[in-house]
Structure 1
Amino acid sequence: MKPGYKQTEIGKIPEEWEMVRLGEVVNYSKGRKPNIILEKHEKSFEPYLTAESMRTGVFNLWCEIDEDVIKVKSNDIIFIWDGSFSGDVFTGFCGVLASTMVKIDPRQNNLDKKYLFYFLKTKFKLFNSTTTGTSIPHISKSIFTSLKLPLPPLPEQQRIAEVLSTVDSAIKKTAEIITKTQALKKGLMQQLLTRGIGHTKFKQTEIGKIPEEWEVVRLGSVAKKFISGGTPSTSKPEYWNGKIPWMRSAHIKGRFVDWGEKYISEEGFKNSATNLVPGKNILVATRVCIGRVAINKIDIAISQDLTGVVVDKDKVNFEYLYWTLLYFENTMKSWTQGSTIKGVLRNDLQNLKLPLPPLPEQQKIAEILSAVDEKIEAGRKKKEKLEQLKKGLMQDLLTGRVRVKYEA
């Protein structure tokens, strides 16, 4: 065993750490439904906190304070006790607890709230998978109270919490930048795809006002052809795990597709309705996830959920066409037909009317929007890395596997 560590029920921990049961060191108070709940804010009313509101950050319920309710401050720990989110834990909210949650308070001064919060965060799967009750799941009281909590000296708890809070702040700041950049992209799409760059004269058309120099065209007039898809039989293993990339509409996650969701064999390709869409063209979801659009960087076979649009590059810049189709996503969704499987008819897609600037302006518009999109993507990647860093730090710091320096 590594020097300075001892063996416990949950594994090796530092010798100076204690091992306690959660029920020995915390009290919890269950929320109660207030007498009056409103959907608009009134003077002296407080936010009514629900699991959904804390997950989304959208608060649309307000309640009158009475002596029976449980109020929480921003540094309090809120733990979901009932429902499908049982076991989730929050902090940083002020308001009145719903009846499905509890406020958790340390009983003694040797337990830091933030340290406890991060420890409970690591136990969501345990709590959520061991609920009791049939119609509405509830946290198992016995599992909650008997849970073993490794307890470092208070200064070390505080330092661990400080490190994790720093990473959390970086994640929050990155998420805010992503949200602001997404709003910028939405505004730029509206501006650039209807007013263009530097125009002063506009004309009224069937799709609204556009610059005088622009045309209104049907999608079919700027496409060389439309390609349908299909799925090789899943009951024939020889049709799968080949070298031909293949995808469904659910595989569209962003602007580009550069790898296959699955790979099919030559035999699977020949014996199904799937077709290959040449690279640097457009994929449109016309059956499932209707309205999703992507540029395929590679030659790719498609399922029946997708339509491949082979672009006439003498008439339209394929990246500009991507942004324009994305702008008309809701229009495509409004065309859905069918009862069991909804879809967009090929004829409707071909007749979709689009604004068409001259090619040089198309390229400039595409470059501007793509640059903003790349900034969003860079932010997402940074956020993912920070979340992975936090996950690793929680595993290491909350078990004592990695120690932090602190002043005793």
Structure 2
Amino acid sequence: MVPNGWENVLLGEVFDFRNGINADKSQYGQGVKFVNVMDVFGNNILTEPKIIGRISISDKKLDDNRLEYGDVLFNRTSETFDEIAMSAVYLDDADATFGGFVIRGRPLTNNLDPKYTVYAFQDSNFRKQVIKLGQGAVRANIGQKDLVKVELLVPPFSEQQKIAKILSTWDKAISTTERLIENSTQQKKALMQQLLTGKKRLLDESGKRFDGEWSSVLLGDISHITTGSSNREDSSLTGEYAFFDRSIDVRTSGIFLFDAEAVIVGGEGQDFVPKYFEGKFDLHQRTYAIMDFENAYGKFLFYYIGYYRHYFLSQAVGSTVKSLRLPMFQKMPINLPSVKEQQKIATVLTNADKEIELLEQQLADLQQEKKALMQVLLTGKKRILIDG
């Protein structure tokens, strides 16, 4: 049912579609900005500074394929059907053009607010239609002849402007939170570099700065390192106990093997990013648990191993799938401060993690709120009061 005052239109009635430029490799790298598929994937709104690539073409070619303010760009092809016809709207007047794997939609009327179209093509109903029209066995594809058949629900222009303004407010909040996460992540990296190398010493309980020498040891000398014996396939997310499958935490209802504080590292086919865990767990036979620490604090070792995981990357063997064996873990060099300083360092880094986790939850909440708003605003289920 079409909401009162809205209309259902075919894209072919309101857009003129055109495929982009297929150029020789020698033309890339200089000239006018050139939109490719990744630009479309990475941005709902495109402006000239956001476009990475350049292409050298004639003035005639540019005139025929120039982007204008309000043009909508769709990707023609993707690895999956879920990602075909993703869109980005060009909101700039600077010269730019677009590539052969991109379709440009140019509005034929003034009835669509460009800022509204940023959101209109994210609507679930639009996405369902284009996914259904996708073709291809190896890669998913969609063409102009398919896009012209897609229906778009269009509110009155003044309502479009209101909807775009509301949703852009959420976008600004999302962007702000993303920047805060990036800043906090960079700050944590800087903290790790300072604290885990001893370049920065924290204050002890009395307010004095730690100053003792760090001890050089091997990981195998200060912990017990073991791998699992299970190659089970029956693990699920609904079990009672943790089961670490190559550093991925799933759940198992089977009998657990360990009950301990441990640093878990996948030993095969991973980037060897560690996990910290306390409690009852089991291990895959290619996953390692580092536990039973001696003169070492588990959470400190978790951060230390994560910071110095390039050691594992350098020690891993295998031409196709990189893997680690027990001796490689045992021989990892570790520099340890006192246990009290380890605990202090771990506390500081844990607090940094909590701050990032809080921001990530805020981001997830904002994204969910925006998604819920789009579902009601872009379908007319919730109407906007228009001033005047």
2:263 pairs with 1:282: yes
Give the SS at the match of 2:104: strand
Question: For the aligned residues, what is the CA RMSD?
Answer: 2.8
Q: Which residue in the other structure is 2:38 paired with?
A: 52
* Aligned-partner Cα distance in 1 for 2:297–2:69: 51
Question: 1:334 Cα deviation (Å)?
Answer: 1.8
Q: Which residue in the other structure is 2:161 paired with?
A: 158
- Residues 372 and 74 of structure 1: CA distance in aligned 2, closer, same or farther (over 3 Å): farther
Name which of 354, 366, 372 aligns with 1:374. Answer: 354
Question: 1:378 Cα deviation (Å)?
Answer: 1.5
- Residues 347 and 374 of structure 1: CA distance in aligned 2, closer, same or farther (over 3 Å): same
TM-score (norm 2): 0.83
2:99 pairs with 1:113: no
Question: 1:56 Cα deviation (Å)?
Answer: 5.0
Q: Which residue in the other structure is 2:226 paired with?
A: 227
* Aligned-partner Cα distance in 2 for 1:60–1:14: 41
Give the SS at the match of 1:165: helix
Q: Which residue in the other structure is 1:22 paired with?
A: 11
Identical positions, percent: 25
Question: 1:290 Cα deviation (Å)?
Answer: 4.1
Contact 1:286–1:305 (8 Å) recurs in 2: yes
- Residues 309 and 135 of structure 1: CA distance in aligned 2, closer, same or farther (over 3 Å): closer
Residues 36-58 of structure 1 show CA distances to partners (whole Å, capped at 9, x for unaligned) of 5344xx5xx33322122444588
Residues 288-339 of structure 1 show CA distances to partners (whole Å, capped at 9, x for unaligned) of 3241211113221121232111142x51121111110001112102211245
Aligned pairs for 1:98-247 within 5 A: 98-122=99-123, 123-133=126-136, 137-198=140-201, 213-223=213-223, 225-231=224-230, 233-234=232-233, 243-247=240-244
Give the SS at the match of 1:280: strand
Contact 1:249–1:292 (8 Å) recurs in 2: no
2:359 pairs with 1:365: no
* Aligned-partner Cα distance in 1 for 2:42–2:229: 37
TM-score (norm 1): 0.79
Q: Which residue in the other structure is 1:206 paired with?
A: none
Q: Which residue in the other structure is 1:5 paired with?
A: none
Question: 1:21 Cα deviation (Å)?
Answer: 1.4
Contact 1:20–1:148 (8 Å) recurs in 2: yes
Contact 1:155–1:407 (8 Å) recurs in 2: no
* Aligned-partner Cα distance in 2 for 1:353–1:406: 67
Contact 1:240–1:264 (8 Å) recurs in 2: no
Unaligned runs of 5+ in 2: 44-49, 203-210
Give the SS at the match of 2:243: strand
Residues 128-168 of structure 1 show CA distances to partners (whole Å, capped at 9, x for unaligned) of 45323556643143432122211211111111111111111
Give the SS at the match of 1:262: strand
Q: Which residue in the other structure is 1:330 paired with?
A: 310
Residues 199-225 of structure 1 show CA distances to partners (whole Å, capped at 9, x for unaligned) of 9xxxxxxxxxxx8711111111221x2
- Residues 181 and 244 of structure 1: CA distance in aligned 2, closer, same or farther (over 3 Å): closer
- Residues 281 and 73 of structure 1: CA distance in aligned 2, closer, same or farther (over 3 Å): farther
Residues 252-294 of structure 1 show CA distances to partners (whole Å, capped at 9, x for unaligned) of 5xxxxxxxx122234xx6xxxxx32x24321112223241211
* Aligned-partner Cα distance in 1 for 2:237–2:110: 61
- Residues 71 and 279 of structure 1: CA distance in aligned 2, closer, same or farther (over 3 Å): farther
- Residues 231 and 374 of structure 1: CA distance in aligned 2, closer, same or farther (over 3 Å): same
Aligned residues: 362
Question: 1:387 Cα deviation (Å)?
Answer: 1.3
Give the SS at the match of 2:77: coil
Q: Which residue in the other structure is 2:56 paired with?
A: 64
Unaligned runs of 5+ in 1: 1-11, 200-210, 253-260, 270-274
Residues 39-94 of structure 1 show CA distances to partners (whole Å, capped at 9, x for unaligned) of 4xx5xx33322122444588653223532132335754221123434311113576
